[in-house]
A = this chain, B = another copy of it.
Amino acid sequence: MTTMPNWLKQRAFLTPERTAISDGKRTKTFAELYEAAASWARRLAGAGVKEGDIVAVLMKNSVEMMEIVHALFFLGARALLQNVRLTPYELCWQLDDSGARVVIADDDLAGRFGGDGRVITVSALAAFAEADVLLKETCHLDETATIMYTSGTTGTPKGVLQTYGNHWWSAVGSALNLGLHERDCWLAAVPLFHISGLSIAMRSVIYGMPMQLQTSFDAKAANALIMDGKVTVMSVVAAMLQRMVSELGAARYPDTFRCMLLGGGPAPQPLLEACKKKGIPVYQTYGMTETASQIVTLAPEYSLTKLGSAGKPLFPAELRIMRDGQPAAPYEAGEIVVKGPNVTKGYLHRPEATEQAIRDGWFYTGDIGYVDEEGFLYVLDRRSDLIISGGENVYPAEIEAVLLAHPAVEEAGVTGVEDETWGQVPYAFVKLKQGAAADEDELKQFCRRRLATYKVPARMYFVPALPRNAAQKLLRRELKTLIPEAEQRAPRR
């Protein structure tokens, strides 16, 4: 089967009166969400959007954002979801790389594109006349629904292609693992432009389940929704969970709350233990943009006995640890390799990177981990050099490339350093060119114009040389040894 009914249309037909989405200000049923999305689709067609077009979306979490994403599905356009924390430089780079034809941006974000003629604000779009266009009533599972940029070891961001099938199987695999209750309501306090948020929106239409949106994460409000029994499942990263646990104080969640899905990198053991004590049902999970969210999740019955493990693959997926081209033995660390219908078919306009990442149907994540004798995954390191800061992926190579573009910089190395609030923050180590001069402030300022704030190095050290191996490959993990000892004990941002 490669085609199925358009999800929102089918859901609006099957259960029109159920609540689909609420952002606190507005609540819409599936019938209302469908009508609104269909109307946006006709306006987008009026603005010239056609089947197959890539349309960038730069919006904060809102009911409108989901309406516009579904509207793009109705037209057969591909939604390029952009991170609102990126700089104009990064955003425009994605437009050029993808060949996006149109950009839909929140009114207050449109300025980021510096007057690019492709940009239409949400207000402007609302003023377009509705064109007479046939909305697609089916979706092809092999077709690209969404695109999200992610960097990697090379430092060049790549557009991850997410098909309808990837989203569908991700939602089904999650339901088979976490179950599906009539009264479920999933809180999306993570961004919809990340797969962690978007996957909640996909589950909402596929399951016929309400989703509750937060425009930006609010620990107190999230706790209140859980305490009131309005939210039964929530997706978080460790930094969010930490704040919710602190805010919760001595209180305990009610039984209606059944799943705290914890992703975005390894979680600190003390946090997991605190949750265990409070009876918070934490489900550790492992996934990435390329796997359309979770691919490995700890099943309910192991949430306590296998604390710290990311679990086992979802039902339709498979997992291997590879070491020197061979499957590794239990407890032997190696590269985490995954397979399944939720795994991307590749990167936009990057056949070589795709071939390198997907071999024999297996996706090589670049992450390091091991499995125990029962097959439970333990993630040791994300993508060798990946830094996860407050749930956002930060790629050292991307920051290094920016630093190297500064006329005074000869060599640059970036690594992640533990941080109580953000999990990790990037630190930079710079060797200046002979005779050149630049200070920390100047280089940070240089980075700020080109990199989202969370990517700008928290600290910058000037060193006479960077650690390299015999092949002159930068040894990023040894960078930390260059930090003065006092600093290692008391990191600051």
Contacts and interface: CB of A to CB of B under 8 A. Distances in A.
A155 interface: no
B312 A14 contact: yes
A318 interface: yes
Contacts of A313: 14
Interface of A: 1, 4-5, 10-11, 13-15, 17-18, 165, 169, 172, 175-176, 179-182, 206-208, 299-301, 312-313, 315-316, 318, 341, 375
Total copies of this chain within the assembly: 2
8 contacts: A11-B315, A13-B375, A14-B313, A15-B299, A15-B301, A175-B176, A180-B180, A181-B181
Given A1-B165, A13-B375, 5 more contacts: A1-B169, A5-B316, A13-B312, A14-B315, A206-B315
Could you say which of A10, A176, A312 has the most chain B C-beta atoms within 10 Å of its C-beta?
A176
Contacts of A4: 316, 341
Given A4-B341, A165-B1, A176 B208 contact: yes
Nearest to A13: B375
Contacts of A208: 176, 315
| Chain A interface, >50% SS class | mixed
Contact of A1 (B17, B180, B341): B341
A191 to B, nearest CB: 26
A300 to B, nearest CB: 6
A158 to B, nearest CB: 23
B1 A207 contact: no
A170 to B, nearest CB: 12
A479 to B, nearest CB: 39
Contacts of A375: 13
A299 B176 contact: no
Nearest to A312: B14
B182 A179 contact: yes
B180 A176 contact: yes
Contacts of A17: 301
Nearest to A1: B341
Contacts of A11: 315
A207 B14 contact: no
The 9 closest A-B pairs by CB, nearest first: A1-B341, A179-B180, A180-B180, A14-B312, A4-B316, A179-B182, A172-B172, A179-B181, A182-B300
A4 B165 CA distance: 14
A4 B342 CA distance: 12
Contacts of A179: 179-182
A323 B478 CA distance: 75
Contacts of A300: 182
Nearest to A374: B16
